[in-house]
Structure 1
Amino acid sequence: MQAERMWQTSTGEGVTVAVIDSGVDSSVPELRGQLVPGKDFSVPQLGANHDSQGHGTSMAMVIAGRRSGGGTWGLAPESKILPLRSVGANGSAGMAKSIRYAADHGAKVINISLGGPASEAARADLQPAIDHAGEKGALIFAATGNHGAEDNIGDYPSSLPGVVGVGAVNRSLKAAKFSVYGPQVALAAPGVDVPTRCTKRLRDCTTWGTSDATALASASAALIWSAHPTWTNNQVLRVMMETAGKPDDGNIPSKYLGYGIVRPRKVLLDKEGDPGPADINPLLAARGTTAPPKAPQSRSDNSAADAAQKPADPPDSAPPWPLTAGLAAAVAALAAGGLIIVRRRRTQ
């Protein structure tokens, strides 16, 4: 991404990114001074800065962590994080409240590295909140999920109109085999061997997942918006789509990469991308509809995905909604109302 060069132009200053997740630990050195007061919409309520799983803290680190000693730091280190805890029995209703809160409290970018089974009940909860956030001028990025090599069934909220679904690529810029694919994929970002802190002990490690890819897409939007504060959410998204690294086969949109791999440097350094109309959502316009993309409902051919990246073994059964999309054997947390699995591969 050529981050050091981009930081000479933009560091994300002036942009607040809401992290709807398992909470964000405010004691982490790299996040001191980076958080604005948040809110807990989960059940039970333990506070926005309570993160027994470590997942939300890790996402905040990828987005806005600042250098502290020899640790890692985020792609948009001068942006601010609005932590919104949304896990447990409250499900999609809690996430919907989080989205509304973020939009009403100054978040330009809303990061949702979470997902859950597509259902009419979830859609009924989430779609009005997503529409509200769009009307308030926010951009929502959501992970497509890490079960692409298993059932590849589309999750909410990434499959809903008004949400930018983010898939993951590996170091070779190929779609990772675990990354859920289909028409809901709008953009892709690195999601393999991402350095951060992870697990509830917050150790330095590398992780993989569409969670991390989503965080990098959100941070990319923060960099662009900081450099162009008068642009609307539609204009930021349009230049991200225009300047994204396109699939080699020229098939756009690709069911694996969408409109391509995020490249904020093309906007910040090369001055590419036409922001275009302020009031037209480019993703909805490109799809020619406001209806949600039809999510895949069964296992299908993964031959175009990268076979070298193998997902972790899936849980025996689908856990209650929502499911974090970071993923590979790290934490199993028992929440009121059921088991929430947070899995992430780590290299210490």
Structure 2
Amino acid sequence: MSPFTRVAGRRAAALLGAMSAVVATWTVAAPAATADDMRSRQWYLDAMKADELWKVATGKGITVAVIDSGVDSTLPELRGKVLPGRNFETGGLGRVDDKDTDRHGTNMALAIAGSGADGGVKGIAPSATILPVKTGANSNAGWGPTYKGIRYAVDNGARVINISRAGPALTEETADWQATVDYARKKGALIFAGAGNDGSGGAVYPASIPGVVAVGAVDNKGKVAKFSNHGSYLALAAPGVEMPGRCTQDKTQFCALSGTSHSTAIASGAAALIWSAHPDWTANQVLRVMMETAGHNGPVPSKYIGYGTIRPAQVLLEGKGNPGDPNVNPLLAAQGVSNSPTSQASKPSQTSPSPENTGASGNGQAKDNNQAAEPDEGGFPLWAIAASAVAVVALIGFGVVAGVRRRASTDA
């Protein structure tokens, strides 16, 4: 095992402050993974009853914007699924290219909508369309490109906005963030953002902005991941530990990655899945059923998992969850925040762009007590059904990188 340190420094008054990360790595020489090998490592798909879910919905017709470092559309799992997008790291001039050297945005896209082709990663919503919006992995441009990227995304058909990034909450940025989030809500979009990977209780942007759905991480036993930030702003939790993805240094290799980045992507994909089955629902209704059917065994909301761990099977297979008032955001209502930015406009257009016409390249049944209220408490074994498969991720089938990417300046 060869440890290394990646440091992303920044002035405190800049975008996210000086942050650092330590990631342990190891690699095992082995043949390329087969499709069956990869699926065995995607423990969360079996836990969420993905094969049964996909008989009901696959995310078709829903565009998910990945606000991140870009997306490599040349990967087998993403071919024909990625729109041209826009590169706001370079001022919004030109489409997003395929040179996502950081591969963070690419891995989010895989977790959301990967097809699983050629033994690769399969996303929770494999027929969803990805709109890549590049805002920079280690940019000094501040949050400005992100504000522009979100507005661009909702103006171009994105119903779900995935922001797997987290940074310190700077008071002077609150107004800009709130205006951007309110704009997206008026356009009928849902914004999911990572809680961050410091294991702390401090608020972060954009997760703590009212109207954003903050997502924490749980492991394969349903326990809160120790790295997952906590606080009153947490809305939901999703799998975020030992998640297969493409390695940063070599995209032909697969790595085991952990972080609220992945849990955010899984939540975004689950929203796309539910929305594709109920295209007439508004963003508020999709969020409401996700909150109502989330699993928990402690106080609600919990500072560690919000309203609980997402369970799309409860909605799509069991028919649970009352969509309720289309014009009331359930999260804001619960927080006592005005719902005024949302109106009938929260029902987006049924038309969603597709890559083809734009030239772009569980076994276990979820229960009510599937999540711990405290990080060290036992959780429901919803995720444990695939524990044996997870245990061998680092030993069989492909090169592995393990550890939490705690560059909170760019990754959630």
Give the 5 Å matches for 1:85-96.
85-87=134-136, 88-96=139-147
Q: Give the Cα separation in 2 of the matches to 1:269 and 1:263.
A: 10
List 4+ stretches of structure 1 deviating above 4 A: 43-47, 310-315
Give the TM-score normalised by the residue count of structure 2.
0.70
Matched, 1:62 2:111: yes
What is the CA distance between 1:306 and its match in structure 2? 3.5
1:238/1:27 CA distance change after superposition, 3 Å: same
1:265 to 302, 313, 328: 313
The one-letter code sitting in structure 2 at the alignment partner of 1:36 is L
- Report deviation, 1:37: 1.7
For the Cα contact (< 8 Å) 1:54–1:201, is it kept in 2?
Answer: no
Matched to 2:58, the amino acid is: T
Match of 1:171 among 217, 220, 225: 220
Counterpart of 2:162 in structure 1 is 111
Deviation at 1:77, TM superposition (A): 0.4
SS in 2 for 1:284: helix
What letter corresponds to residue 285 of structure 1 in structure 2? Answer: A
> What secondary structure is seen at the aligned counterpart in 2 of 1:213?
helix
Question: CA deviation digits over 1:184-226, x for unaligned, max 9?
Answer: 1100000001122231522212211000000000000000000
SS in 2 for 1:69: helix
The within-5 A match list for 1:55-204 is 55-87=104-136, 88-148=139-199, 151-202=200-251, 203-204=253-254
Identical aligned residues as a percent = 52
Residue aligning to 2:22: none
1:212 matches 2:262: yes
Find the counterpart in structure 2 of residue 299 from structure 1.
none
> Does the 8 Å CA contact 1:161/1:284 hold for their aligned counterparts?
yes
Structure 2: stretches of 5+ with no match in the other structure: 1-47, 340-372, 379-401
Q: Which residue pairs with 1:275 in the alignment?
A: 323
Q: Give the aligned partner of residue 344 of structure 2.
A: none
Structure 2 CA distance for aligned equivalents of residues 198 and 313 of structure 1? 12
Structure 1 length-normalised TM: 0.83
Task: Pick the structure with greater CA Rg.
Answer: 2
- Are the equivalent residues in 2 in contact too, given 1:146–1:311 (CA < 8 A)? no
Is 1:226 the equivalent of 2:289? no
Matched positions, count:
304
Shift of 1:289: 2.1
> If each structure's strand is expressed as a fraction of its own residues, which one has the higher value?
1
Partner of 1:129: helix, strand, or coil?
A: helix
| 1:296 alignment partner in structure 2 | none
Contact 1:181 1:256 in 2 (8 A): yes
The alignment's C-alpha RMSD in Å is 2.1
The letter of the residue matching 1:30 is E
